[in-house]
Structure formats: structure tokens, C-alpha cells
Amino acid sequence: MKRFMNVRAARMLSLVLGVASAGLFATSCTDSTDPGALITLTIAPSPATVAAGGTVQFSAAGTDFTGASVTPTAGAVVWSVAAGGGSINSSTGLFTASTTPGTYTNTIVATCRGITASSTVIVTAGPLATITVTPNPVTLPISATQQFTAVGKDAFGNVVAITPVWSVVSGGGTINATSGLFTAGTTPGTFANTVKATSGTISGTATVTVTVGPLATITVTPNPVTLGSGTQQTFTAVGRDAAGNIVPVTPVWSVVNGGGTINAASGVFTAGSTAGTFDNTVRATSGSIFGSATVTVTVIAPPPPAPPALATITVTPNPATVQVNGTQQFTAVGRDGSGNIIAITPVWSIVNGGGTINSATGAFTAGPTAGTFTNTVRATSGSISGTATVIVTTTPPPAQVLTTITVEPNPATVQVGATQQFIAVGRDQSGNIITIAPVWTVTNGGGTINSSTGLFTAGLIPGTFTNTVRATSGTVFGTATVIVTAAPAPPARFGVISRVAVTCTLGSITGSVGTNQSPSEVPPGSVTGCTGATAQVGTPAAKQQYADFVTEFNSLASTPCGTVLSGTLAGQTLTPGVYCFPAAATLTGTLTLNGVGNYLFLVGTGGTGSLSTTNFNVVLSNGASACSVKWRVTQAATTVTSDFKGNILAGAAIAMTGGTFVGNASSKEDATFTGTTATGCP
């Protein structure tokens, strides 16, 4: 019993000594029942934070069964990685982090003779190595915006949180330095690596391509232009965006205010035959955008026809009998191949003797030798000549006696009311011309004539009046027949004329209905469903009527205003004059026009304004006439169940629904009639 107690005491002493010395001496992983033996184990650091690819040195420490600190001897601890996150030197405890960030719980394990401890490793991204800007590249129209984003990464591609500073380094627009919201500039182009995101010394870039914006304007050139009737001009169109950058366009060409025609594809314009200034008439259209040009057409008189070619020269008298040393005046008449007289100034000459002649006047002087000198007197003009024979006698020639009078032209065709100049040529018994002063008369009707000059004025009754014009000198006279023709019919008056289309549903129209555009033009003209009307789609008469309308429409715009109107005009009575609505006119009720004279209503004198009527009735009193009333409307004209009177000249479309209409309707766009009874003015 005593021995046992001694042993126990010795052990207790040993334990005390071991505890006292545990912090001073390392121990191996021995039996835990021995003093200083390790019975618990801890790892430092725990947890450990290390950048991806970085290293951290782990160490192990513990306590023995008395609670005293114990440091294992070198190499006594075996290190391992249990849950990923990197690798560790099993002997030294030097840990190398993987390239994948994350929290690896209890992944570091230290083992010493069955006793283990663990530590968590937090692998973080490495230092910022790159910045990627997105989108890249990006294409934007001018002035558009784009939100850029920047992603920072370490050398292993792990995302690193950054707060970049944004800037633009190569132009192309501007950017918010904080948010990265980019606004494209107004100059198209590709701006390489222009958007930059910077964090510290690291930056990333993106390339921006700025494109032209949507089409905003079209400019037509030349503008304005002055053209002679029948001449051509090629117009060009340039499209631009809102910033003035050129935008490619393939426009459709049209003529909207008259003045000529244009090729819809090529822009080749042909001036019409009506003189005037046609404002903004040439139009180039792409989508909803268009541009215009003004054309002034001047009427060029056609060149005079080439003078007819001289075919023959007749010399009179022929033959001529002249006493020796006597004189004779010769005359020469030139004619073309149809026998029409042509004025000539011949050169006179003698080719076969018999006398001499003045080369300029044709005055012949006979020589002293009697005889017949065949074709001796010659009158020459260019390569054409005529001759006459001279008989020189020793006895004086017989006295000249007026024998015949020839009246020209015969027959003469004259339009009713027109004039015709007649001439009379007297000849003697030998056919020689004798100067006469005839008295002119009309013997069989057909008109009147000036008795001295022979100027004939046709009457108003067509017909053939045989030998009615008479020229008398003494007892000799000559006559000519006159054919009086009727005047041509006046051009058709159009009850409705529009630029492109006239469409009727129910109702009726009295008079001609026409369009400026023909079916083959772009856009094609058309008249549809207009009962009782004569349709003329793009005919010369319709085009002329439309051109006249446009000229009048433009001319009326400058008419000084007499009275400014407002309101619906219901219950008002107006006398002849010029009345103006500065903007739109919305009319209802009854308007009375009182008295003979012209009424002109100008709607939209301020530059814009349409006419709109509902249940509007125009009453005419004391001689007022619908055809003496004009409504010049800057934009569209619309009537609904109205009894409307007066000629409408509209700058845009005309639409009538129900009611009646007395007057002519002219539109720069389309005209539509639904259930309306329309009667045109003559």
C-alpha cells in the first residue's frame, strides 16, 4: 500500500513538472497518458483568406491532458486538403490556393497520431488584371444612347468588383463618367477603342460605329429653275438626317402643282406649254419625307418655218414689143414648188441681144436693130432664172388696154369673224401687168370688205360664197371665192379636276371629270364611278385645265383681303367682295350671298387652313351667281350634307358627302364624292 502511494506521488510530481515545462518544450505525438503528450490540436490561421494562386503558411498547436500548450515537433503533423480550394505541403503546411475563388469549409486538415484539426480557407479573386467593356463593338445612329458595362477580372479570369471611371478617348460622342451612359455624336464614322473604363492603372475599351440617322429632309436641286416650254431638266435629290448627314435615297418623283411632267424614276422633268411659276411643284418622295422645287415655265415661240425654196421665176411681159431705142419695165415673180409667191430681188441681164437692161431694176432699153430676141431678158435669183422674149420694131407698140383682173388668193378660207387681205393684178391685151387701183366689193355675201384696201372680214355664217369678192377697175373686174368656216369649239370645262384620282359613290356629276395624271404615270390617274360625267384621265385638255387651275390657285393667294371673317357664318348676309379666314373655316347654318358681282373667299391666309362644312346652305339672292363665287382653300375642303355653291380651288383633297354642289371643284390631290349631286359651271 505504501509503495503504491509512492508511485502515485511520483507520477503526480512528474505531471506537475510536465505542466510546468509544457510551454517550453515541443513534444511528439506520444501516448496521451504521458505528461506533455498532445491530446488536442488547433490550426492557425483559421479561417484563412488568400488570393487565388496565393500561399499561406499553416501551423498546428495543441494542449496535453493537463491543458498545457504543446507545440508538435517539426514533421510530426501531416497536412492535407479535404474539401478543395488548393493544395498543401503535407510536411510543412504551406498551402497554395487554387484559381477558383470560394469558401472551402474545414478543407485544411492537420493530423497528429490520430488527433485532427481543420481550418476553413476563403479563396478570393486576385488583383485586377483586365477590364472588359460591353457591348463591343456597337453600332448606333447619331444622337442615340448606349449603356456600357465594365467587368474586371484577375489574371485567372475571376471577376473583380470595380467602380470604373468612364471616358471617351477617340471621339464619336460623350459618356457619363460615373454611369457609363454613352450618347453618340452627330458625325458618322467608326471610332476604335473610344469608350474607356478605368480602375487604377487598368482599363478596357470598346469601339463605337456611329451611323447616319433616319431620313429627316430631302433637298431637290436645282431650285428654283426657269425652263422654256418643252425643254427638259434633270432634278436630283439629296437626303439628310437631322444632323445634316447625307442619307442615301431612291426617291419617287412627281409633279404636284402643274407646270409639266416628270419621269418618276429618273427625275427628268419636261416643261409644259403653260407659262407661269409653279411653286414647289417638283416633288421627290421617300417614305413619308419629301422635298420640292419651284419651276418657272416661259413660253418660247417656235422658230419661224424655213422659207420655201424658190422653184420658178416668171418674167413679164413676155413677149414684150418695144420700139427701137424705146424702154420697157420688166417684172419678175418667184414661186415655190406649190405655186406660192416668194419675194425675190433678181439680177437682170441680157443674154441674146436686143438692147440693155438695168441689172437692179429690170428697166430695158431697146437697141437700134429691129428683130425678135428670144429669151433675151433674164431675171436670176440664186440658181433659178426666168426669161422673156423681146420683139424690137421700128413702129410704136399699140397702147396698153386693161383686159383682165386677177384676184388672189382664190379661193380663200377664212374662219368666222377673221380677216383676209386680197390683192388684184391687172393685165393688158398682151398679158403685161398694168397698175390699177380697184374698188373692192362683196357681191354674194360671206362678209364685208374695205373698198380701198381689199381687207375682207368674214361674217358669222359659215359657207362657200362663190365669186363674192370683186375687184373692179373701169369696166373690168375679177373675183374670188370665199369659204367661211366655223370657229373651233371652246375647250371643255371641267366640273371636277384633280391631280391623281376622282372617286364617286352614288350621286351624280354633270360635266367633264378629269385628272392631271394619266393611267401610265406614277401615281396613275383614275376616274371611278362618276355617273353622268365625261371622264378625261390625263388627256391634253385635262392637263391644261389642271395647269390653269394651279396658276389661278397661286395667283389668288396674293389677293388683298377685304373683310376678315370668323365663326360659322350662320345667319350672315354678304355682298360681293374678298373675304378671308386667317386659319381654318368651320361653317354651318345658312349664308346668304346678296347681289350681282364676284365673291372670293380665301381660307387659310395665314399659311394653313382647311374648309369644313356640316349642314351648311349657301343661298343666292338678287342676281348672285354660284359661278361668280370662288373658295380658295389653302388645304383640304370637306362638305357634309351641305348645299354648297361656288367654285372650290383646294390645295389638298376635296371630299363631299351628301347634299348638293353647284360649281367646279379643283384639287391638288384627290377628289371624292359620296352621294352628292354636283353640277359644274359652264
The fraction of the chain above a pLDDT of 70, given in percent, is 93
Which is nearest to 126 in space by CA: 152, 163, 95? 152
Stretch 580-606: mean pLDDT, rounded? 94
Q: What is the mean pLDDT of residues 560-570?
A: 93
pLDDT of 11 > 50? The answer is no
| Separation between Cα atoms, residue 254 and residue 655, nearest integer Å | 22
Partners of residue 603 on adjacent β-strands: 581, 633
C-alpha cell at 353: 441681144
Q: Do domains 17-124 and 218-298 have the same CATH topology?
A: yes
357 CB neighbour count, 10 Å cutoff: 22
Q: What is the CATH code for 312-393?
A: 2.60.40.10
Distance CA 390, CA 397 (A): 12
- 572: Cβ–Cβ under 8 A, 6 or more apart, which residues? 591, 592
> Is the peptide bond preceding residue 317 cis, with omega within 30 degrees of 0?
yes
Q: What is the pLDDT of residues 111-131, one digit of tens each?
A: 987 889 999 999 998 899 899
Query: How far is 117 from 79, CA to CA, in rounded Å?
Result: 10
d(CA 102, CA 47): 13
As its CATH architecture, domain 218-298 has Sandwich (2.60)
DSSP code of residue 13: H
H or E, element range at 466: strand 463-473
- Ramachandran region, residue 15 (left: φ > 0; alpha: ψ -120 to 50; beta: rest): alpha
Q: How many CB atoms lie within 10 A of CB 462?
A: 14
**Is the Cβ–Cβ distance between 600 and 632 less than 8 Å?**
yes
Average pLDDT score, the chain:
88
The CATH number of 17-124, from 1.20.1560.10, 3.30.450.260, 2.60.40.1080, 3.30.365.10, is 2.60.40.1080
Query: CA–CA separation, 630 vs 666, rounded Å?
Result: 11
In the sheet that 327-329 helps form, which strands lie side by side, from edge to edge? 327-329, 363-366, 355-357
Residue 425 bridge partners (DSSP): 406
Q: Report d(CA 454, CA 591) in Å as an integer.
A: 58
Question: Which three cell numbers, joined as nine digits, stand for 651?
Answer: 390645295
Could you give the CA distance from residue 676 to residue 102 in angstroms, rounded to a whole number? Answer: 85
Q: Assess contact for 36 and 25: CB atoms under 8 A.
A: yes
Cell numbers found for residue 567: 365663326
What pLDDT, on a 0 to 100 scale, did the predictor assign at position 346?
95
Q: What is the pLDDT averaged over residues 331-337?
A: 89
Helices (H), 456-596: 540-556
Q: Tell me the torsion sign for CA atoms 225, 230, 233, 234.
A: positive
* Cα 259 from Cα 229, distance rounded (Å): 9
**pLDDT band, very low/low/confident/very high, at 90 (cuts 50, 70, 90):** confident
Mean pLDDT of 227-250: 91
pLDDT digits (tens, 9 = 90+) for 612-623: 999 999 999 999
Grade residue 230 by pLDDT with cuts at 50, 70 and 90: confident
Is the pLDDT at 377 greater than 90? The verdict is: yes
Grade residue 14 by pLDDT with cuts at 50, 70 and 90. Answer: very low
Contact 48, 55 (CB under 8 A): no
Mean pLDDT of 230-258: 92
Contact 65, 39 (CB under 8 A): yes
pTM for the full predicted model: 0.43
Quick: pLDDT tens for 275-301. 888 989 999 999 999 999 999 998 765
Banded pLDDT at 21 (limits 50, 70, 90): very low
pLDDT band at 492 (very low <50, low <70, confident <90, very high): low
All three cell numbers of 58, joined, read 499553416
Among 431-435, 453-457, 483-487, the least confident range: 431-435
- Rounded Cα distance between 672 and 650, Å, is 13
Q: Whole-angstrom Cα distance, residue 584 to residue 124? A: 74
- Please give the average per-residue pLDDT across 159-185, as a whole number: 94
pLDDT for res 85 = 85
Level-2 CATH architecture, domain 130-211 = Sandwich (2.60)
Q: Which amino acid is at 472?
A: T
* Predicted confidence (pLDDT) at residue 600 exceeds the cutoff of 90: yes
Q: What is the pLDDT of residue 15?
A: 37
Structural domain spans, the chain: 17-124, 130-211, 218-298, 312-393, 402-485, 494-679
More confident residue, 72 or 117: 117
Q: Could you count the other beta carbons within 10 Å of the beta carbon of residue 129?
A: 15
Cell 414647289 sits at which residue? 280
Give the three-class secondary structure for 159.
Answer: strand
Model confidence band, residue 472 (pLDDT cutoffs 50, 70, 90): very high
- State which fold the 402-485 domain adopts: Immunoglobulin-like (2.60.40)
Mean pLDDT of 219-237: 92
> pLDDT for 630-674, tens place per residue?
999 999 999 999 999 999 999 999 999 999 999 999 999 999 999
